[in-house]
Chain A
Amino acid sequence: MNLRRVLAVAWKEAREIWRDRLYFGLAFALPVILMIVYCYGLVQDVENAPFAILDHDRSTLSRDYAHRFLDSRYFDFQGYVEDSREAERLLVDARVRMVLVVPPGFERDLREGRPVAVQTIFDGTFTTPIRTLRGYVESIHASLGASLRADWLARNRGLSPERAAVLLQPVRVETRYLYNREVRTLWAIAPTMIMFILMMTSPLLTALSIVREKETGAIYNIYSATITRAEYLLGKLLPNAAVSFLNILVLFVLATSWFGAPFDGSFGLFAGASVGFVLSTSCLGLLVSLLARSQQAALMISVIAGVVVALNFSGMTTPPQAMPPGLYAVAHLFPALAYRNVVLGTFLKGLDLRILWQDAAYFFAYAAAAFALCTGLFRKRTAA
């Protein structure tokens, strides 16, 4: 390995990146714009869910009941419906996510101490928020029911309301939230997005820079030159990895200052692991460039592969402990899972090298292995 030749390729590559101003601007603007759009858009807190009420009772208590939902920030009241046909129309047209059906005799039964059943019809198309919504509905039912029961006991047994409440619900749960004390989705999303965005942009940069030379034919100069395969690939890799690393730094500032995500860990550890990560993802880009013959193909493969890996194999949509064993094994073939550990570990958990050393070491081993693989597969001649 001749360092001078590596640097020569790297210098040429850096100048090429710099010279194409639109591309250069995009390489830096894109991660920032994606970060802002995602962080605002991906907050999965279920809020303002549109709903309607079909009230068969039309009593004071049923109006009280409705107000518990109207006053909640989780629900967005779209109005009362007259009959079940109208409710169905709203659901089919996706105007509401749920309809509450208050039965006749709601007030009378409750006042006389009998249980009533309120039916909730959910639109099951979009499954994710349904579970959360169901939880909200149940907890409103439970708290209204509890206060009705406490009143009932206090009235019929002559107990104090506090005593009645303990009698009715003798177990209390005290929950403390670790790492993300306010359970703010944004605090968890902003750091995760650094991983997500780089999984897409970093392989793309490297892949395009090699495939472009294949397409224009400039790569023939390399084929016929004395430079070795490893020297050429390393020279291509370094400037692009550097751009990705700068991107991480910018996103770090954005996450901590603009989105207010807490950073409790060591910055040195974060930066060191990030260097390993961008080397790994850039090697993935080299791999893509071996497969692709056109920039169009390189683009498709790196964008889709990046999104698939980042979404499915990072633990972002499915937490690692909930993955099926096969998927969990596959997830280790990509650096996304380990980098998510590092990012969440340094941002929210405030962990140090004692716990994160495996993940940090993984990147460098990964990059070395992937680079060796690419060098082995790269051929300095045209495909026959």
Chain B
Amino acid sequence: MSPPPSPPLFAGVSRRLRQMRVMTAKELRQIARDRALLLFIIYSFTLHMFVAAGSEASDLRDARFLVRDLDRSPASRELISRFLPPQYLPAGEVASGEEALDRLDRGKAVMLLEIPEGFSRTLDEGAQPATVQLLVDTSSANTGYLASAYSARIAARYGAERAQANLSRGGAAHETLPRIESRDRVWFNPTLDEKWFATISELLTMITVACILLPAAALVREKERGTIEQLLVSPLTPFQVMFPKVLAMIVVTLLGTVVAFLGILRPVFGVPVRGSLLLFFGVTALYAFTNAGLGLLAATFTKRTAQVGMLMLLAVMPIIMLSGIRAPLESMPSWLRTAIWFSPLRHFLEVGYGILLRGAGVSVLWDSILVMAGLGAVLFLAGLYRFRRQLA
């Protein structure tokens, strides 16, 4: 009692689909069997989020500063007392400039605040500005910039208060002065919680690394071990060999993303979802496809896993570092910005942050999604073309 024969075309399609399902299961099993690899994937999507959240600090924190107070007046002490935690941490007084330099050399402090003799007198006379000197370690440019900017602000505020006192003493107590006040409002992340940005960007980074490296390595390993010949004599088309590798990766990535997001980012770090979560996971799948295409294309250029490693570093690291996570795009030279347009991560960032934090929908993000889909299709087809030619 066999089922009635289906039309040949349909039979072909369903057989192909079944073959692809088997191949996808094979790829998944291969990933699951490599214990070190599996552990690393699990780490990337779980524990690593905590590492990322703990280490990201772009604001000035605990900047140790030395003091050399040559004035020793109430005014100088008042100014020094305004350098407070969490930005600043006093690292003690120094007696001489050499001592200060030595401590700065050893990295025990990042700043020296020097108040010259006569500071208080000059301030009282009011004929000339009273000067304080700042020596800032700028070997880490960002810390150096922030340390000096905050210091300037503290000194300015102190000066403004003295000025106000002087003016009202001069009989102008109720006189107001023109002033421009800065009222800031930060949208999408009102408390400037750095963990939101840090954990999301780290998740996107991990997705990128896994999606490019794993399919590439999987394909090259088949070449290296010669199992590709077995696949060739099987009734599978090149598409059926390649696409399951992509599918397997999409499954692993989506699983990891769902776990990382629903299990860690949202409950632990309070990362909000202002847009549609379903759309986010959908776009993540599309992104996994785009990246896997890139990985497979690169794999067709190499013969050994070691070479894939090098080629991947060449493509993956710039993608991660330059797509807008580490440094804002607009501050890069324009030739570089043009090159980065071809990085799928650049568009995924816009979509990811757009959906999660800015609450944007398809009506705003359609252009980025379209570019990602286009890049993915081109990369995958190019890889398929090269793979097919290599087999012939």
Query: B21 at interface (Cβ–Cβ under 8 A)?
Result: no
Known: A34-B313, A121-B187, A293-B34. A173 touches B178 (CB 8 A): no
CA–CA, A132 and B59, complex, Å: 9
Known: A22-B307, A122-B187, A351-B105. A145 touches B180 (CB 8 A): yes
- How many residue pairs link A and B with beta carbons under 8 A? The number is 395
Task: Tell me how far the C-beta of A94 lies from the nearest C-beta in chain B, rounded to whole angstroms.
Answer: 6
Identify which of A1-9, A163-171, A251-259, A369-377 touches chain B. A163-171
For B197, give the chain A residue with the smallest CB separation. A127
Query: A60 at interface (Cβ–Cβ under 8 A)?
Result: no
Q: Would A27 and B310 count as touching, CB distance under 8 A?
A: yes
Identify which of B1-9, B10-18, B49-57, B262-270 touches chain A. B49-57
Q: Would A175 and B314 count as touching, CB distance under 8 A?
A: no
Q: Which residues of B contact A120 (CB under 8 A)?
A: 182-185
B interface, over-half SS: helix
Q: Which residues of A contact B318 (CB under 8 A)?
A: 34, 37-38, 41
Q: Which residues of A contact B84 (CB under 8 A)?
A: none
Q: Which residues of B contact A172 (CB under 8 A)?
A: 129-132, 155
Q: Would A123 and B181 count as touching, CB distance under 8 A?
A: no
Query: A349 at interface (Cβ–Cβ under 8 A)?
Result: yes
CA–CA, A77 and B379, complex, Å: 36
Q: Would B178 and A180 count as touching, CB distance under 8 A?
A: no
Known: A91-B358, A304-B209, A322-B61. A43 touches B126 (CB 8 A): no
For B313, give the chain A residue with the smallest CB separation. A30
Q: Would B306 and A295 count as touching, CB distance under 8 A?
A: yes
For chain A, the count of residues having a C-beta within 8 Å of the partner chain is 125
Q: Would B140 and A319 count as touching, CB distance under 8 A?
A: yes
Query: A268 at interface (Cβ–Cβ under 8 A)?
Result: no
Task: Tell me how far the C-beta of A206 lies from the nearest C-beta in chain B, rounded to whole angstroms.
Answer: 11
- A-contact bits for B40-60, CB 8 A (1 contact / 0 none): 100010001001101111110
Q: Would B332 and A43 count as touching, CB distance under 8 A?
A: yes
Q: Which residues of A contact B302 (CB under 8 A)?
A: 22
Q: Would B156 and A169 count as touching, CB distance under 8 A?
A: yes
Q: Would B180 and A115 count as touching, CB distance under 8 A?
A: yes
Q: Would B163 and A168 count as touching, CB distance under 8 A?
A: yes
Known: A127-B58, A308-B51. A178 touches B136 (CB 8 A): yes
Q: Which residues of A contact B385 (CB under 8 A)?
A: none
Q: Which residues of A contact B40 (CB under 8 A)?
A: 297, 300-301, 304
| Inter-chain pairs besides A117-B181, A175-B151, A176-B134, 15 sampled, C-beta below 8 Å | A46-B331, A93-B364, A117-B180, A121-B187, A130-B192, A137-B182, A170-B163, A172-B132, A178-B135, A178-B138, A294-B305, A295-B305, A321-B107, A348-B139, A349-B105
